Amino acid sequence: MSTNYDDCDLFGIKNEAERYIYGSWLTLVVISSLLGDTTILVASIKYKAFRLHRTVVVFIQHIAVCDMFTAVGMLLPVVVSLIYDSGGSNEVIKFIRFFIGYWVFSASPLLIGAMSVGKFLLVRYPLRARTWSKMKTHKLCVGLWILSLTVPVQHLLVDMDDVVFDCRTYMWNYRYSSEIWNTLMPITTVLAYLTPNIIIIIATILLLTSARRVAKRMQENLRWQGTMAVVITATIFTISFLPITVYFIAGPLLETDSEEPGPFFNRYYRVTEAVLFTNVMANFFTYGLTVASFRDFLKTKLIKKLLPCLSIGNLSQLTRTSQGKYFLIFALFKIQLLAINLSTRAFT
């Protein structure tokens, strides 16, 4: 059903500048995710820094864990493969990388979709929401994690030999050579990817509409921070999925019998994967800008520890001004620039 892209002499990144850019971007995503998502988990679990409904906080925690799995189990090995220009020969690592990649790729839209629907129901039916507990939400998230396991397990059960190293993105992907995928592929795509994204879009629109109606009916300011945190998270996720959605829709229409597919199947596909990983590191910035209690935690707990280590001018004055909420973004950006510099040296 698809071209085998495991020939790195033909499909690998030979342009050194492109290799540096791609590798540095992934390194930036990994560093940002590890720093940001660890901060989110510590802030929400130990310091109770998210003063939002308990259900939303649980979803935030599971999404942070999913992003960390993506960074460590999926993207960090890609950076190593880029450095060595190889996927390695260890069969166990090969299947672990493939399994984690397809697992988190399936779990992420389910978790974000559930959070969007959950927040909409919280706004629409606030009295019923009082009975929702953290434990019930955790059980729901665990169920979604288990449900998402069906995608990688299905692929491996059909044909484990179809797991190949994709030299376009330096990941272990699937080549779908079995005829059964003519039937399974549309079903899997609709159920695992298309439906959750449609649910995210619809739930986000309904959430905004309901929140505005509630605000007008109450004739006072609705606490928008939880709503905006969910809306921005869902929006960034949906936008990051658009380029790869275009690839999967247009790909079958542009397929040729040529042994060397054009730039749409090579360079554009690599760009779609890079854009897709934006949502892996975006949540830290989203919550820092939308959730006041989390922003206060960053200013009072984290910034005081970072101040001696960073040299961005006038930091103490910045944290006391109205622009203080943006400080940590600049601080993390400073760390990210250092990560890019280190990763560039690694690829030389």
Residues 275-331 pLDDT 10s: 999 999 999 989 988 898 988 888 777 665 555 555 444 444 544 444 454 555 555
Alpha-carbon distance 234 to 337, whole Å? 27
Of residues 56, 57, 63, 59, the one with CA closest to residue 37: 63
User: Residue 59: which of 9, 5, 113 has the closest Cα?
Assistant: 113
Q: In this predicted structure, what is the pLDDT of residue 288?
A: 86
- Taking Cα atoms as reference points, which of 284, 192, 271 lies closest to residue 233? 284
Nearest-10 Cα torsion for 179, 186, 243, 236:
-140
Encode pLDDT of 52-97 as tens digits. 999 999 999 999 999 999 999 999 999 988 888 777 667 888 899 9
Strand partners, 172: 165
Mean pLDDT of 201-208: 94
Sequence letter at residue 318: L
Question: What digits encode the pLDDT tens for the residues 170-198?
Answer: 999 998 888 998 899 888 888 888 899 99
Cα(200)–Cα(235) distance, integer angstroms: 9
Q: Categorize the per-residue pLDDT at 340 as very low, low, confident or very high, splitting at 50, 70 and 90.
A: very low
β-pairing verdict for 171-174 and 163-166: antiparallel
Q: What is the mean pLDDT of the chain?
A: 83
Tokens of 207: 């959430």
Q: Quick one: how many helices (H) and strands (E) in the chain?
A: 17, 2
What's the distance, Cα to Cα, between the start and end of the chain in Å?
A: 37
Q: Specify the pTM.
A: 0.86
User: What is the phi/psi pair of residue 166, to 5°?
Assistant: -95, 110
